[in-house]
Amino acid sequence: MPFKTTILVRFGDLDPAGIAYYPNLVNYLHESFEDFFAGAIGKPYPEVFRDGIGFPTVKVEMDFLSPVHYGDRVEVDVTVEHLGNTSVRIRYEGSVKGKPVFRARNTAVVVNMRTFKPTALPSWLRESFERALG
């Protein structure tokens, strides 16, 4: 079961064509990732980050399937696709009223924020990610 969250399209996300500017939709992936921690991992990402674990993105692929408009509520399904030793690959599927608007895959490395070196996921975090494997 993917984790589900909803993101409201804000005025500041729009371009002069009146639709969401695509780098801002990429930002929605990170916001969904943050919501995933609060909702599915059980520890908000700000706390994880302050504990010294970061997830810098090393790869993103994203398809924009349909324009996203002002005021839309984008429902995002977050699925852990792959769990490596020191990395995680997550799939994001965005839709508005059931209509797909984007589909993305993000690979992030797990990093010790003090050394900036890759590190294995702590076991409690690994277990939570495993439960979210799609």
| Partner residues linked to 133 by β-bridges | 80
The residue from 51, 58, 133, 134 that contacts a second copy (CB under 8 A) is 58
* Residue whose pair of structure tokens reads 């969401």 in the numeric block: 20
Buried b / exposed e along 28-65 (16+ C-beta atoms within 10 A): bbbebbbbbbeebbeeebeebeeeebbbeeeeeebebe
Size of the site for a second copy (CB under 8 A): 42
Is 39 a binding residue for a second copy by CB under 8 A? The answer is no
Is 44 a binding residue for a second copy by CB under 8 A? The answer is yes
**DSSP result, 3-25:** EEEEEEPPGGGB-TTSBB-HHHH
Is 117 a binding residue for a second copy by CB under 8 A? The answer is no
Region class of 50: left (phi > 0), else alpha (psi between -120 and 50), else beta: alpha
How far is Cα 87 from Cα 34, in angstroms, rounded to an integer?
16
Is 24 a binding residue for a second copy by CB under 8 A? The answer is yes
Residue 35: CB minimum distance to a second copy, A: 9
The residue annotated as part of the active site, out of 13, 15, 35, 72, is 15
Is 87 a binding residue for a second copy by CB under 8 A? The answer is no
Q: Look up 15 and say whether it is catalytic.
A: yes
The residue from 61, 81, 127, 130 that contacts a second copy (CB under 8 A) is 61
Q: Which residues of the shown chain bind a second copy in the complex (CB under 8 A)?
A: 9-12, 14-19, 21-24, 26-27, 29-31, 34, 44-47, 49-50, 54, 56-64, 67, 69-71, 113, 116
